Structures are given as C-alpha cells and as structure tokens.
Structure 1
Amino acid sequence: MKLTTNLFKFPVFILMVFQLTSCKKTNWNENYREKEKSPFGTYIVYNEAKTLFKNQEIVYLKQNIYDYLFDNYNTTSANFGTYICIKNNAFRLSKDGVKDLLSFVNDGNNAFISLNEFNDDLKEQLEFTTNNLDKNINNVKALKTLKGEYTLTHKDFDNEVFTLDRNSKRHYFISYNKNKTIVLGTTKIDEEKLPNFLKIYHGKGAIYVHSNPIAFTNYYLLKNKESYTEKVFSYLPNKTVFWDPHIKKSLYSNKKDEDNTSVFNYFLQHKTLTWFLIVSSAGILLFMLFNARRKQRAIPIIKPLENTTVAFTQTISSLYLKEEDHKNLADKKIAYFLEKTRTKYLLNTSNLNQKFIQVLASKSGNKIQNTKYLINTIITLNNKSECSKEELLVLHKMIEKFFNK
C-alpha cells in the first residue's frame, strides 16, 4: 500500500471555487459525471487522477470496460492495471462485463468500485450484501440533512475521523466472506461503526468496494476533505489506472445484455423490480382481457310523448281572457267545483242548502263559515247574467283554497 498527501493542482481548485460560487444557480443533484463541475460531479477527481496516482499511467476509457478488455487484454499480461469506477450505479456493466471484469481481477489485477447501488451479479460473485437506509431519499432538501463520519482502519491513519456534512447516505456492507475480505474503512451509523470500504481477494488479485461515492465528488474535494480521497486511493497498488467514466455501452456483449440503459434491463437487474414488472404486466393483460369482450350497443333515448294538456288549457284560457267573457269562465269554474265535489265527497249538488253546506264543510275539513261563503258566492254568480273580472278572481281563489285544505 502506498501513502500519499498530494494536493490538487491550484488552477483546477480556483476554477471549481469560481464555478460553485458564481451567480448561476447551483445544481445540487448527485450526477457523478466526470465533465460536471457542479458540487456532486466528479470533475476534480477525474482531472486530478495524474496527481493522485503519481508515476502511474492513467488510461481514460472511451469504450465499455468489457470491450476494452476484449480488444486489449490477454491472460498473459502481467500486472495489467487497476480499474476504477465511481458512480451512482454501474448500469452499463452487463452480466458479461461483470464476468470479464472479475476474470481480469482473478488474473492478478485490481478494481476499485464505489457505488450507491451494486448490481446483484456483482454482489453474488463477490459474496457480499449491502443495506442502504436512505435509498428512498432523493430530493435535495432531505439529502442535505444526511451527515456522516468515516474512518480508515490502517494504523498509519491513527483512526482519523473524516466528517461529511451533507448527502452522506447510510449505506454499508451487511455481510461478506470473512475468509477473503478485509475491512478497510467504516461509517458511523447510530453510534456503531459499520463497514463501508472492503478489500475482497479474488483469485490472484483484489477488488475494492466502497459504498459512499459521494466522498469523491467536487463538493468534498473543495472542503478540505481531499485527504480522505487520497488515503482511500493509497490502498491501491502502483499499476496502470483504467478510469471508467461509464459513457459507452458494450458493443460485444450478448444481445440480451448489451443495452443495459433500457428501463426493462434495469428492472431485470433487481429481483424486487423484476417481480414488480411481472405483476404489473400480468395486471395489464388481465385488464385488457376482461375489457376486450363485446359491449352492448348504446340504447337510444326515446323521448316520451309530450303532455299537451297544460298547453291546451293555457291556450283556451288565453282565448277566454282575450274575449273578456268572464261569466263563461265563472260558469265553467263553478261546474268544475260541483263535479269535483260530487266525485270526491259523494254529495248531491242539486240543492245547495244549509244542510249541504254543513256536510261539505265536515267532509272537506274546511270551516263552515268559509264553506258557506263559497257556496253563497256560487249561488250569486249563477243568478247573475254578468260577471266582473274581480268577481272571477275571487271565485278562483276561494275554490283553490277550498281544495288545498
């Protein structure tokens, strides 16, 4: 293991300070892109690799690692180099890519991988499991509250504590094969130190896995935290460095694995997401099946025949009013009253005397005085040859009031 305390180049430092303090709105999203000068890009560590790895050749990969090894590597190459990948997840590392990378390590080479999400193939092959307590926290405001304390276990580092003031997810290794694994670093979670940096021996080589890539971003390399990055990389052997910016998909891997950028392939890399995809697809198919049956044709609305009785009555009444034949209308109102009395109360209306008035008042529930006044009005109008408009209105109101009792 080599120890180093290299400082980053001054021009790059000034450039990044200007970038982060400029008036332009700062992008606080975790992107881990080598070309990004935003806080959580990896522009500094990528461009300062030659300072971090002095006297070592740096190869910046322009193609997928699987394709690079396919074109340039053979098993007779001694100490070919160290592969480095710092990302949120290695989604461009297909099954073939994992297999070839581990074969590369098995031959006596090394790899350093720092991710927030390790794919299942890599975890299965290297026999480790992880837990991320903050995997569902994605918004900038919530991430800002996540603080962390990291330590490196080597005796030369004197248990120095490296503190991170934001975006430090509680991501750590739960289990690993203790026969071939060394814990190189820890993170403090609920007062307990849990491993976040492992060295896993694989064949003649070793692979270094780190669960907090945020520590290598621009933000922390400009906050006097560069010593943590330097000390982590000091564990790596002095070999050619192959830095993978993850910008290319494989051209040579199997067709079923080559397009790992698709949503379906990403889902299929995780068992829980795979089951979610299967259940969702089955639900959609069932919905389509039950809704594909022939539906009954819409029943046309048939409007009922219009009741023209009211309109006819209004027309006739308007005709009478226009002619001002109030006597004729009064006679019809009286005839209507007497007919309804005979039908409803079963009374003989041929003799409208005092006895008739008493019986009618009793059966209808009207006061005898009001009933008497109505019958006397009817008798009076029957005996008159003329009827005024006012008398007609009085008769109409009396009859309406009588039947509404």
Structure 2
Amino acid sequence: MMYFKNIFRIFLIITLVFITGCTKTNWNENYREKEKSPFGNYIISKEASNLFPDTDVTILKENFYDTTIFSFDGDTIGKKNYVLIKNSAFKQTKEGTKSLLDFVSKGNAAFISLHYFNADFKEALEFSINNLDKNTFGNQNLKKLNGEFYLKHPDFGKKPYLYSRNIKRNYFLQYNEGKTMVLGTTKIDGEEVPNFVKIYHGKGAFYLHTNPIVFTNYYLLEGKTDYVANLLSYLPNNKVLWDEHIKSSEFSQNPDDKPSVFNYFLKHPTLTWFLYVSIIGLLFFMLFNARRKQRAIPVLKPLENTTVAFTQTISNLYLSEEDHQNLVDKKITFFLEKIRSKYLIDTTILNADFIKKLAAKSGNELQKTKYLIHTIITLNKKTEYSKEQLIVLHKMIENFFKK
C-alpha cells in the first residue's frame, strides 16, 4: 500500500502560496488542476508524484481518447494507471468511453472519482448511482452537508473519516456483485452504503469513487490526507496517467458524439435555468431596444374643451326664452351634485343634520348655509320663478363655493 512522503512539509509551502496569492475566495466546486481555490485540484495534482513515489506520473494535456489513438498499442505499452477526479466526465464521448474500457480490459487500472458518471459507462460496467443531493446548490446549502466514510481493508482499521461540508450523499445503488468488490462505504441516515468499489473488467479493474470533493485543496489543507492516500493506495504500482480533462476529442468520428457546451448546461439544473434566463433576458432586451428605436410618434394637439362655451350658449338660450324655471332646476341639481361629489354628503334629506354637516365640511357659516338650503327647499316647492329669484340663487351658490 502506498502513502504520502514528506506531505506535511509540502502542505506548509502550498499553504503559504494560498495565503499570499489569494484575494477573494471562490467556493465553487471546479476540480481544476490549476485552481488554487478551496475546491480546486491544485494540491492533489502537484502531489501526484509523492502519491506515487516509485513510478512516473504523466499529466494528460489532451483528451484521453486522442491519447490512446497514437500512444497505446495493445499489450505492448506496459501496465498503467489512469486517474480522473472531477465533478463529471462531460468531455468523454461514446468513443472515449469505449477507449477507456478497452484500455482497462488489457490489464490496466483506472481510478475515477466523480459525482456524475455518464450513461454509457454505467451501462457497460453494470452499476447505477443514487445522488440524494444532486439538486442542492449554493455555498450556504452545501456547507451543511457533512460526511462519514469507511474503508474495508483491515490495514486501515474501522475508524471513520469525517468531513465537515460539501459532502453529497452519493453512493452506488446497484452493481453486478459477480464482478464488483466494495472497498469503502459512507454512512447515510445511519446506514453504511458503498461509495468506493472495484469493478473487474477484462484483465484490469476500475476503482470508482463517488465523492471527489475529498481530493480538493480545502480538505488536503485541513490535513485530511489519510483517506485520500488510502484510496489511491489500492492502485497497482504502475505508471500513472493523470487526466486533467481539459480538452474535448479532436478525432471523434461521430460529430454528434462530441460533447457540446449546451449539453453540459442541460445536464445541470442551475446551469439550465441560467441558460433559459439568459435567453429570455436577451429576447426582452431585443424587444425593448427595438421599441426604443422605432420612428417617433407625432404629437397630436388635444381637442379643445368647448364645454364652457356650450354651457354659456345654453344658458343664454334659456335667458332669452325667459325659461327661469328650467334654469333654477338645473342650478339646484348642479349644487346638490357638487355637494355629493366634493363633500361626500347624502343630499336625499335636506334637514338640520345635513345643514350642520355641510357647514362644517365646506367651512361656511352655519347661518348662511341654513339660509341657502331653506331657499332651495322653498324654490323646489314652487312651479314658477322670477328673474330676481334666479339671480339671488345664482349669487348664493357662487358665494357658497368661494369658501
């Protein structure tokens, strides 16, 4: 079994780099080998040579499928270990999956730690995954997810490996027991379920793990090195191909088989919503921007209000015809309507209470208000009116509303 050499000395150096080089902390789970943020793979990639001290470690700068086309030829290449630690192998095509399966079947080994394995890979190796926290996002929510891991090998004892945050409840739900060996477990709701298995394939074997977060900078700087070292110690003592998984295949024969950015977005709910919102936002921007640039609307002159002139004409007509009764009725109707709309007072019963309310709300003297209302009541009882009565009523109403 392999172990770290001088790991703590190197950790101190890398910690110093973090302290002097970091400004704002990025808590995204990116798993990039060049990323020094908490959940990048900078430390694990730099320590690969210490993790495998007795062999060579080659960092793959191109897609694994493209590497196998030109570099490997049957069983003459010597035995190798393939290592991939990511959130998902989204750059792995169907041809890439077949290439990896062929690579292992010839006697090589592959250690793969992912949250999401692609469908072709799971079908070929006959297993399924259950990720209970696949819809948990955001730093505050992920921070609440802690974990407890165990390794089955007697050399490691039965002690738990405890992790405090971002540990998704991700485990193997089904697998072919005839060719699968459970190497490690995680505790979920009090029950131990497999999260680390060995699946035999041809002359070689796959070592599959469902919690890649344990390999990130955050936990290695916390001193959580034993679990990582023990996981990788299951690999044979062969040369190592460390896959940074940074490029898509340039030699895939099937254009539809090549992964696209949109397919990657659609595999993750948050990125899918981000894509939808961006498209909708772009459509709204185009819509409103087009409206702003449309031809100016001409200003139309509003129609002249001729109500006053019309009223004056009608009044002159009544005066010329000496129809004093009609004018008095309209004056009284106008006065009562204005009282209802302006002061919100019911004009059905013109009694003492009505007079008090009207005087209080209009600000007129009680005596003058009482005199005006009594005049209106008196005129309502008559059938004929003189010109003098019309003039008196007009002046009383006019003076009343001047207050």
Alignment partner, residue 140 of structure 2: 141
Match for 1:59: what amino acid? T
For residues 232-273 of structure 1, what are the alpha-carbon distances to aligned partners after superposition, in whole Å with 9 as ceiling and x for unaligned? 111000111000001111011124345313213664x89x9x
Residues 312 and 191 (structure 1 numbering): CA distance in 2 closer, same or farther, change over 3 Å?
closer
Task: For residue 171 of structure 1, report the CA deviation from its aligned partner.
Answer: 0.3
Q: 1:258 to 1:337 in 2, by over 3 A?
A: closer
Q: Name 2:319's counterpart in structure 1.
A: 329
Match of 1:345 in 2: none
List runs of 5+ in structure 1 lacking aligned partners.
281-304, 321-327, 341-365, 382-386, 399-405
TM superposition shift of 1:224: 1.8
Matched with 1:202 is 201
The equivalent residue for 1:393 is 391
Q: Which residue of 2 aligns with 1:311?
A: 309
SS where residue 322 of structure 2 aligns?
Answer: helix
Residues 258 and 397 from structure 1, CA distance in 2 versus in 1: closer, same or farther, beyond 3 angstroms?
Answer: same
Partner of 2:13, secondary structure, is helix
For the structure 1 residues 169 and 307, does the alpha-carbon distance in structure 2 shift closer, same or farther, using more than 3 Å as the test?
A: closer
Whether the 8 Å CA contact 1:150–1:163 is kept in 2: the answer is yes
Which structure 2 residues correspond to residues 290-309 of structure 1 after superposition, within 5 A? none
Cα distance in 2 between the residues matched to 1:234 and 1:172: 21
Residues 336 and 40 (structure 1), Cα distance of their counterparts in 2 relative to 1, 3 Å cut: closer
Report the Cα offset of residue 90 of structure 1: 0.4
Does the CA contact (< 8 Å) of 1:182 and 1:199 recur in 2? yes
TM-score, scaled to structure 2: 0.72
* 1:154 corresponding residue in structure 2: 153
User: For residue 378 of structure 2, what is the aligned residue in structure 1?
Assistant: 370
TM-score, length-normalised on structure 1? 0.71
Coordinate RMSD, CA, aligned = 3.7
Contact 1:109 1:205 in 2 (8 A): yes
1:245-264 superposed matches below 5 A: 245-257=244-256, 259-264=258-263
Higher Rg of the two aligned structures? 1
Please say if residues 182 and 198 of structure 2, whose CA atoms lie closer than 8 Å, have aligned partners that are also in contact: yes
Determine helix, strand or coil for the equivalent of 1:105. helix
Q: Name the structure 1 match of 2:127.
A: 128
Alignment partner, residue 88 of structure 1: 87
Give the residue type in structure 1 aligned to 2:309.
A
Quickly say closer, same or farther: Cα 1:35–1:161, change in 2 above 3 A. Answer: same
**Is the CA contact (8 Å cut-off) linking 2:61 and 2:247 kept in structure 1?**
yes
Query: Following superposition of structure 1 onto structure 2, how do residues 6-405 of structure 1 map, counting pairs within 5 Å?
Result: 6-8=5-7, 10-19=9-18, 24-77=23-76, 79-257=78-256, 259-264=258-263, 267=266, 311-315=309-313, 317=315, 329=319, 332-334=322-324, 336=326, 370=378, 374-375=382-383, 377-378=385-386, 391-394=389-392
Q: Which amino acid aligns with 2:215?
A: F
Offset of residue 76 of structure 1? 2.8
Deviation at 1:97, TM superposition (A): 0.2
Instruction: Give the secondary structure class of the aligned counterpart of 1:112.
Output: strand
SS at 2:112 equivalent: strand
Rounded to whole Å, the distance in 2 between the matches of 1:140 and 1:316 is 77
CA distance in structure 2 between the aligned counterparts of 1:47 and 1:211, rounded to whole angstroms = 22
Contact 1:94–1:257 (Cα < 8 Å) also in 2: no
Report the more deviating stretch, 11-20 or 87-96: 11-20
Please tell me the residue identity of whatever aligns with 1:171.
Answer: N
Task: Report the AA paired with residue 129 of structure 2.
Answer: T
Alpha-carbon shift at residue 15 of structure 1 (Å): 2.5
Identify if the C-alpha distance between structure 1 residues 203 and 12 changes in structure 2 by more than 3 Å, giving closer, same or farther: same
What corresponds to 2:298 in structure 1? none
> Do the aligned residues in 2 keep the contact of 1:20 with 1:38 (CA within 8 Å)?
no
Partner of 1:351: none
1:403 is aligned to none
Instruction: Indicate if the aligned counterparts of 1:20 and 1:26 stay in contact, CA closer than 8 A.
Output: no
Corresponding letter in the other structure for 1:79 = G
**CA separation of 1:370 and 1:65: change in aligned 2, threshold 3 A:** same
Amino acid of the residue matched to residue 370 of structure 1?
T
C-alpha contact (below 8 Å) 1:145/1:167 kept by paired residues: yes
Q: CA deviation at 1:311?
A: 3.1
Q: Secondary structure at the match of 2:39?
A: coil
CA distance in 2: counterparts of 1:333 and 1:242, whole angstroms:
111
**Equivalent-residue separation in structure 2 for 1:211 and 1:199 (angstroms):** 12
Mark the CA change 1:40 to 1:313 in structure 2 (over 3 Å): closer, same or farther.
closer
Q: Residue 332 of structure 1 aligns to a residue in which SS?
A: coil
Contact 2:324 2:390 in 1 (8 A): no
2: CA distance between counterparts of 1:180 and 1:23?
46
Q: Give yes or no for contact 1:78–1:108 (8 Å, CA) kept in 2.
A: no
Aligned-pair CA distance for 1:333: 2.8
Contact 2:57 2:242 in 1 (8 A): yes
Matched position secondary structure for 1:182: strand
Superposition deviation, residue 155 in structure 1: 0.8
Q: CA deviation digits over 1:316-347, x for unaligned, max 9?
A: 65x79xxxxxxx9386233747999xxxxxxx
